[in-house]
Amino acid sequence: MTKVSRYGIGPRRDKAPRKKDFFQGIENELSEGIELSSVRNSVDSILRLQSDNGAFIASPDFAEYHYSWLRDGSFCAYALDRADEHEASRRFHSWVNAAVGGISGIIDDVIGRHERGEKLDPSHMPPARFGLDGSTVTDEWPNFQIDGYGTWLWSLGQHLLITGQDGVPAEFLASVERVGRYLASFALSPCYDVWEESGSALHTSTLACVYGGLTTAARLLNDVQLLERALAVKERVRASAAQLGIYAKSNENADVDASALWLSTPFRVVEPTDRSYVRTVASIEEQLSLVGGIRRYPTDIYYGSGAWPVLTASLGWHYLTVGDLEGARRCHEWISERFDEEGRLGEQFGGELRDAPHFREWVDRWGPPARDLTWSHAMYVVLSIALESFDGSDEGGVIFPLIGDSDADARGLGA
């Protein structure tokens, strides 16, 4: 397995190489309040934390995160595409392509078993994380998480759109088809959520990721059946909200979860003005704010439930889509103030003060929380560049293409 140091993959590089420079010609600030050095630092951090084969380590300083998650990495690749680091993004997608090829037999087997109505052991499902060399990891980690596979397809689709590529490159075709079938088969099956918890439920943010993946695969493959499955996912999400008035954490938990922000941006299951979504955002603001940042969910105890840059950036990203520039700037400022002197950006902040007993419990178990989280850097880059490009009419940088099937578009699948 690739050697991990506190500085990333292999030897430390103070400045990672860059073929095309998004920052060229910009001296000190991207726009009001956005320091160029912080954004450049985060782009360089993501590049430094990418192995030569394309994998992103989740965190170099936290032993439990010395792996590559499809979820985290897909957002990292998207951030790099937004920063014009297209070759680095492509290397991640090539790494996923190879990793999916390595487990093709597992994916095909569970799809077949599911179609035959056989009972499946969650521990035997395709993994949510991989070793940095693309190998599967055999341990007790809750692997059955389908959100990462949906997020990967979405991220790959964005990469192809941003770089002006039509259709699926031939070397990716088998993996896109295979992952599309996997998502279609298990889209409405209970699994662990994006926080790797609650394996018996259907989770709203997981469904958002699945929808993003299915609509992308449907567009890339011109596959009507995948469109139909995406529609079923959307209808399930909307039906739940019709009962509760908000988009709840899951079908087993009526609380709000900040990852529900992704329902609109970036996956556009619903419009940002959807009434239930507006109420959901208001609940997130009211229940999950912590000194300006955003926590995961009300009953969270992981390291005392601090505020996460990933989620604070997601809220800022949403604010931009509804024209709330000041709200987005507040989120951005909160994250900017969390970098340490070495330019690291941690997983979460404030849990030790909010809930000291649970914070200490997790420190005793795994040590201090991650001081440098690659996904945190990625979402900071995404929000920073979205702020810089904001003109009051864009979608926060996300490209929402029409699917291409007129009947599907008429029913909202192209949004």
At 26, list the tokens: 């910009």
91-86-173 Cα angle (round to 5): 55
At 266, list the tokens: 């970036």
Active site residue 193: yes
At 261, list the tokens: 């922000």
At 410, list the tokens: 């008429």
Active site residue 285: no
Place of tokens 């920073």: 384
**Which helix (H) or strand (E) segment is 35 a member of?**
strand 34-35
Place of tokens 């630092």: 41
Catalytic residue among 35, 196, 361, 409: 196
Catalytic residue among 347, 372, 388, 405: 347
**Which helix (H) or strand (E) segment is 217 a member of?**
helix 204-221
C-alpha distances in Å from residue 310, one per residue of 76, 261, 391:
11, 11, 23
Catalytic residue among 193, 223, 257, 300: 193
Taking a C-beta distance cutoff of 8 angstroms, is the pair 195, 201 a contact?
no
Helices then strands, counting H and E runs in the chain, come out as 15, 8
**Which helix (H) or strand (E) segment is 69 a member of?**
strand 68-69
For residues 184-212, one letter each, b for 16 or more C-beta atoms within 10 angstroms of the residue's C-beta and e for the rest, the string is bbbbeebbbbbbbbbeebbbbbbbbbbbb
Place of tokens 């601090």: 306
Active site residue 252: no
Which residues are known to be catalytic?
193, 196, 347
